[in-house]
Chains A and B, each alone.
Chain A
Amino acid sequence: MALLRRAIALSVCFTCPGCAGWQSALDPHGQQARGLEGLIWTFIWVAAAVWISVMAVLVVALSRKSGRGAGNERRMRVTVGGAVAGTAAIVLALTIISFLSTRLVSSEASHPLEIRVRGYQWWWEVTYLDARAERVFTTANEIHIPVNRPVRLQLSAADVIHSFWAPNLAGKQDLIPGRENSLTFSAQQPGTYRAQCAEFCGVQHAHMALLVVAETPDAFEHWRQSQLSPAASPTNPEQAEGRKVFTSKPCASCHTIQGTSASASIGPDLTHLASRSYIAAGLLQNTRGSLAAWIADPQTIKPGNNMPNVPLTANELRAVSAYLAALK
């Protein structure tokens, strides 16, 4: 008995950490995610109960001697009838619960914050929309949202089907080329949540992550204002050299840095690159070192992605990483 109790305790210890924290659907921080979590647990408990009862009945049936008497047929009809009725009732109940939960999860809100998310192989382009054109800006791989305000993502894809999944906040929604889907959710407390692509989209599908940062409305406004400003000017000769390298090399023919001559939109917008926590779509921490490593050899770090290996000398690399690391 003591052994059994110990075994139960140990198994609980192993399973519980899977519930909490980073990128977990069982740790909801948003309204939609809570609805989905309830649905998940409901299904788990109901299905577990059904399974246990079915197994119990099976064990009983296997251990009994067969063949009794005249009452068999009636008993069998009752049993089978009862099982079918029970199954139908449970399925119906689960269907209704599922319908209600999904309706809650996909409900639209009035006056949400509109964000256009466009999936590329293998990064996310994020455009904050606004009724005034001058307040529209573009960033990549990171979304900031104010807490307790509905956010509506307008999802589209540039090449293949992707899927947006921020498990702490909401369910999955596909990004389909040629079609606009939408996902509405809200965060209920500040926090940083990892989202990722949930539809196989090519060789680097596994490294296509996104960070969703929920913050207080004031912090969000502050962030939005800083994203609207043009890129930070170089403050020392190394950064100035870095900007020159950036605009004269193939960098400027794929990326935009507002305030410089780089205005291309094949790759992510880098105007405020240093304000993000990760680079390469959630693959590397955003430090100057990993930035330099990424620029020097993206094909080793993320093979097959669309950023080419641009040949740079050591000095050029140092300068460009200094410049980019300063783009707050």
Chain B
Amino acid sequence: MTTKLSSAPLAVKSLLMCMLLMSSLCGCEREKRQYRTDPPVAAALDEVAPMPNGIAGAPPDAYVAAGEPYKSNAYDLSQGKQLYSEFNCSGCHAEGGGASGPAFLNGWWRYGPQAVSVFVSIRDGRPRGMPAFKSRLTTEQIWQLAGYVQTIGAYSAKTSAPGRNDAMQSRPSENRSPAKSSYASDQWPYSAAQ
């Protein structure tokens, strides 16, 4: 059965082929994975300027200049998720539900939700039991972990997600659980501050 296409002029056929080829090539590049950060950039990523009380503050210039990676790159979030289980975070924080450490799922952050606060918490530790991981993880790894931790307690659903769970699924997936307010009705009705 001959179609209109087969009887179209050669120019039209070539143009359609080109468009098809180009649209198929666009499907290849999903997102960039950066396996190796330049050492000076990696060193610069450590230069956060937290406020004197250790809560919030200015992120490193390099971090801002790079477009705030580690929060929206699926590869980095996956690496963060792997680090989370490898470095025993779930022993104190469970899968975001908390144990001796606070939960991340409910969007209540003792030191604020900013990426800088989470980074400083992991790198330097906190007084009420959070150990310091400065000598245990590289700066990029700490940023990957911080990005993942923020995803667990994200206030709104994200477009990028870490890989699916290899382990027991115990809670809604990271990209489906916007944090609930800690004053929601099914939590105990008293102040979160002690």
Q: Is the CB of B135 within 8 A of A304?
A: no
* Contact A248–B135 (Cβ < 8 Å): yes
- Whether a CB of chain A sits under 8 angstroms from the CB of B86 is yes
**In contact, B138 and A308 (Cβ under 8 angstroms):** yes
Distance from A188 Cβ to chain B, minimum over Cβ atoms (Å): 39
B36 & A253 in contact (Cβ 8 Å cutoff): no
- Contact A300–B36 (Cβ < 8 Å): yes
On whether A266 and B135 interact (CB within 8 A), knowing A299-B35, A304-B35, the answer reads no
Which residue from A177, A308, A309 sits with its C-beta under 8 Å from B166?
Answer: A177
Residue count of chain A within 8 Å CB distance of chain B: 19
Interface of chain B: mostly helix, strand, loop or mixed: loop
Q: A253, B136: Cβ atoms under 8 Å?
A: yes
Whether B136 contacts A309 by the Cβ 8 Å rule is: no
Report the minimum CB–CB distance from A243 to chain B (whole Å). Answer: 15
- Residue of B33, B35, B39 contacting most chain A CB atoms (<10 Å): B35
Q: Which residues of A contact B136 (CB under 8 A)?
A: 250, 252-253
**Cβ A299 vs Cβ B36 within 8 A:** yes
CB-CB < 8 A to A248: which residues of B?
135
Q: Is there an interface contact between A253 and B39, defined as CB atoms closer than 8 Å?
A: no
Given the known inter-chain contacts A177-B166, A311-B42, A311-B43, please indicate yes or no for A303 contacting B36, CB distance below 8 A. Answer: yes
Task: Choose one: A249, A304, A309, A311; the contact of B33 (CB below 8 Å).
Answer: A304
Question: Chain B residue with minimal CB distance to A302?
Answer: B35
Q: Which residue of A lies closest to B33 (CB)?
A: A304
The reply to whether B138 and A310 contact each other, CB–CB distance below 8 Å, is yes
**Cβ-defined contact, B86 with A311, below 8 A:** no
CA distance in complex: A51, B150 (Å): 63
* Number of B residues, CB within 8 Å of A: 17
Q: Tell me the complex Cα distance, A195–B3, Å.
A: 55
The reply on A159 being an interface residue by CB < 8 A is yes
A-B pair count, CB < 8 Å, reads 41
Task: Judge whether B166 and A250 touch: CB under 8 Å.
Answer: no
Once the chains bind, are B87 and A309 in contact (CB under 8 Å)? no
Q: If the complex has contacts A159-B166, A177-B166, A309-B42, are A250 and B135 also in contact, measured as CB distance less than 8 A?
A: yes
Question: What is the CA–CA distance of A177 and B166 in the complex, to the nearest angstrom?
Answer: 9
Q: Which residues of chain B have C-beta atoms less than 8 A from A297's C-beta?
A: 36
Contact of A42 with B by CB under 8 A:
no
User: Once bound together, how far apart are the Cα atoms of A249 and B43, in whole Å?
Assistant: 15
Give chain B residues whose Cβ lies under 8 Å from the Cβ of A300: 36
Contact with B along A243-263 (1 / 0, CB 8 A): 000001110111000000000
Q: State A253–B35 Cα separation when bound (angstroms).
A: 20
Q: Tell me, in angstroms, the Cα distance from A3 to B36 when the chains sit together.
A: 56
Given A248-B135, A297-B36, 17 more A-B residue pairs with CB atoms under 8 Å apart are: A159-B166, A253-B135, A253-B137, A254-B86, A266-B87, A299-B35, A300-B36, A303-B35, A303-B36, A304-B33, A308-B137, A308-B140, A309-B39, A309-B138, A310-B138, A311-B43, A311-B138
Q: List 18 A-B contacts (CB under 8 A).
A: A159-B166, A250-B135, A250-B136, A250-B137, A250-B138, A252-B136, A253-B135, A253-B136, A253-B137, A299-B36, A304-B33, A306-B82, A308-B138, A308-B141, A309-B140, A311-B42, A311-B43, A311-B138
Binding site for A on B (CB under 8 A): 33, 35-37, 39, 42-43, 82, 86-87, 135-138, 140-141, 166
